[in-house]
């Protein structure tokens, strides 16, 4: 029997970084997925194949014996096998429809899909249980994650996420597409988060003001999203970008990309930790082509994504 789960990637529409210090963020699941397939094996090994790397180890080996990007998966395999007193080995295949390490939530989607897929070999599952396991797995490599990515990859749709873990799905009909453009600059979320913490410690008054402004901006954006008012949502995205520039997580290349995208779309900003990764631009039928054109003609790789409304999906297949 094969247990197959998939979870969507994500973009952060508003609130990255500021959420680390309270407040809230708005995230959307996107219609690009990571699929994880698991099967029990009788060789006592954990075997992982994926586009970011492969691993073959014994179920008794330490999680730290594999490269960091695969540790959450090994953690999940060991934990779930032990929880169900299984002496089996396990074969895990990971297939991604979008690149890793660019701020689109590949590691969170992978943790969610893997938790669901491995758990599905032993038991019925609830989204709450999968989310709990996925979050624990993700914290093996990124201890201070807010949990926002993992939550939206599990639930799908768009969510309002609070630092304390409270998440509410937005009740709205998405009437937009987001153009994602990759800067091709790799980044490390944890080092950008540390740098922002230093900025906050050195500039407490400015940072506190920015947090207040960000909170107001998010309230406006929530209202505008519910009303389908893309002009206001886009304007708030571009304003959010200014705050992100102020705390030093954008750079020249990202600024150029955002300015290009802003010339034709409703608004644009980086998505995720910054320093590299992707920008997003808000469009609909009226400006999707012109925005793709302006980014592509300047040599940037880009693609359009819609909001994924399904979230985590799981099925069992007879082999
Ligand atoms: O790099 P990403 O897309 O995983 O975004 C990180 C978002 C931060 O707010 C910077 C950190 C967090 O844990 O919320």
List, for residues 79-116, the tens digit of each pLDDT value.
999 999 999 999 999 999 998 888 899 999 999 999 99
Pairing relation of β-strands 313-317 and 267-271?
unpaired
Average pLDDT of the chain is 95
What fold does the segment set 2-173 form as a domain? Answer: Ribosomal Protein S5; domain 2 (3.30.230)
Give the pLDDT mean for 232-237.
98
Residue 235 reports pLDDT greater than 90: yes
The token pair at 221 is: 């954006």
pLDDT tens-digit readout, 146-176: 889 999 999 999 999 998 889 999 999 999 9
Nearest ligand 1 atom to alpha carbon 145: 13
> Is 310 within 8 Å of 8 (Cβ atoms)?
yes
Predicted local distance difference test score (pLDDT) of residue 142? 81
What values do phi and psi take at 276, rounded to 5?
180, -145
Ligand 1 atom nearest to CA at 103: 3
In the structure, what pLDDT confidence band is assigned to residue 11 with cuts at 50, 70 and 90? very high
Place of tokens 């693609």: 303
pLDDT of residue 165: 86
Buried b (16+ CB within 10 A) or exposed e, 298-311: eebebbebebbbeb
The pLDDT-based confidence of 299 (bands split at 50, 70, 90) is very high
Tokens describing residue 109: 């989607």
Q: What is the mean pLDDT of residues 15-26?
A: 93
- Angle formed by the axes of helices 127-138 and 71-83, nearest 10°: 130
**Ligand 1 mutation target, pool 189, 249, 276, most atoms within 8 A of CB:** 189
Q: Domain map of the chain by residue range? A: 2-173, 177-305
Q: Of 3.20.20.140, 3.40.1280.10, 3.40.718.10, 3.30.70.890, which CATH number belongs to 177-305? A: 3.30.70.890
Contacts of 154 (CB under 8 A, 6+ apart): 7, 112, 127, 130, 131, 134, 311, 312
pTM, whole model, 2 decimals? 0.94
The pLDDT of residue 232 is: 98
Q: 189-202 and 204-227 helices cross at what angle (nearest 10)?
A: 120
| Residue 143 confidence class, pLDDT cut points 50, 70, 90 | confident
Identical topology for domains 2-173 and 177-305: no
Q: Please say whether the beta carbons of 59 and 48 come within 8 A.
A: no
Cβ atoms < 10 Å from Cβ of 133: 25
What is the atom index within ligand 1 of the atom nearest the CA of 147? 13
CA dihedral 135→136→138→144, nearest 10 degrees, is 90
Mean pLDDT within 168-190: 93
**Atom number, ligand 1, closest to the C-alpha of residue 192:** 10
Q: What percent of the chain has a predicted confidence (pLDDT) above 90? A: 90
CA of 272 to the centre of ligand 1 (A): 5
Pocket of ligand 1 (CB under 6 A): 12, 16-17, 19-20, 103, 145-146, 148-149, 189, 193, 272-273
The token pair that represents 7 in the structure block: 């979870």
Q: Which of 146, 160, 183, 275 best tests ligand 1's pocket when mutated (most atoms within 8 Å of CB)?
A: 146
Ligand 1 atom closest to 277 (CA): 1
User: What CA–CA distance (Å, rounded) separates 36 from 29?
Assistant: 17
Q: Which two tokens stand for residue 135?
A: 């979050």
Total count of residues recorded for the chain: 319
Distance 188 CA to ligand 1 centre (A): 10
- CB–CB of 109/9 below 8 Å? yes
Choose the weakest-confidence range: 62-76, 132-146, 231-245, 303-317. 132-146
Span 209-220, pLDDT tens digits: 999 999 999 999
Closest-CA residue, ligand 1 atom 2, reads: 272
Q: How far is CA 136 from CA 127, 131, 141, 145, 180, in A?
A: 14, 9, 10, 10, 29
Q: How far is the CA of 61 from the centre of ligand 1 (A)?
A: 30
Residue 311 has pLDDT above 90, yes or no: yes
């Amino acid at each position: 029997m094969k247990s197959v789960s998939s979870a969507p990637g994500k973009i952060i529409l508003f609130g990255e970084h500021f959420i680390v210090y309270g407040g809230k963020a708005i995230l959307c699941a996107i219609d690009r997925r990571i699929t994880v397939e698991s099967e029990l094996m009788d060789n006592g090994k954990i075997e992982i194949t994926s586009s970011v790397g492969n691993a073959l180890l014994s179920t008794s080996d330490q999680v730290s014996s594999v490269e960091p990007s695969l540790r959450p998966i090994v953690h999940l395999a060991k934990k779930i096998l032990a929880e169900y007193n299984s002496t089996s080995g396990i074969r895990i295949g990971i297939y991604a429809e979008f690149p890793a390490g660019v701020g689109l939530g590949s590691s969170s989607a992978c943790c969610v899909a893997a938790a669901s897929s491995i758990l599905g070999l032993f038991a019925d599952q609830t989204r709450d249980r999968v989310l709990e396991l996925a979050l624990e797995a993700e914290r093996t490599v990124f201890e201070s994650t807010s949990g926002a990515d993992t939550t939206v990859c599990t639930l799908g749709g768009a969510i309002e996420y609070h630092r304390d873990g409270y998440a509410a799905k937005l009740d709205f009909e998405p009437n937009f597409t987001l153009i994602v453009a990759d800067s091709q600059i790799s980044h490390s979320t944890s080092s950008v988060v540390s740098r922002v913490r230093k900025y906050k410690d050195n500039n407490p008054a400015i940072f506190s003001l920015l947090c207040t402004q960000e909170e107001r901006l998010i309230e406006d954006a929530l209202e505008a999203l519910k009303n389908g008012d893309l002009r206001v949502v886009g304007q708030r995205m571009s304003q959010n970008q200014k705050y992100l520039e102020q705390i030093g997580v954008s750079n020249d290349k990202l600024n150029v990309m955002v300015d290009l995208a802003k010339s034709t779309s409703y608004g644009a900003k980086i998505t995720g930790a910054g320093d590299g990764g992707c920008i997003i631009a808000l469009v609909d039928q009226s400006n999707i082509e012109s925005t793709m054109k302006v980014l592509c003609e300047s040599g940037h790789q880009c693609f359009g994504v819609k909001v994924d409304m399904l979230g985590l999906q799981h099925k069992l297949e007879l082999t």
